[in-house]
Amino acid sequence: KLISIGAVVFLCIIIYQINKSSSLSAIDIIAVVVTGVFFLITIITGGLVSALKTTPTAILRLHQITPWLTTLSTAVTLILLRAGK
């Protein structure tokens, strides 16, 4: 859980620094938003899995998939941000 929060902070710092030096393109902004949504879904489903005694199958499956999507989306976002520099 702390690693996810650390990754979000790290990504936010990188995005802020890049946006400060040169403005982000539309594709960069879309990638950042998608990555943020995946992070939020991962954190929310993780909290639900931890808090609920019996977790609905849909939430459990979503929690199993979203960390992978978050990782992939973060990698793509970082590549796009580095390429646009």
What tens digit of pLDDT does each residue of 48-83 get? 999 998 989 999 999 999 999 999 998 998 898 888
Tell me the C-alpha distance between 85 and 68, whole Å. Answer: 26
Which has more pLDDT, 32 or 19?
32
Q: Phi and psi dihedrals of 52, rounded to 5?
A: -85, 140
CB 59 within 8 A of CB 48: yes
Q: Are 22 and 82 in contact (CB under 8 A)?
A: no
Tokens 């390429």 locate to: 83
Using CA atoms, how far apart are residues 2 and 45, in angstroms rounded to an integer? Answer: 15
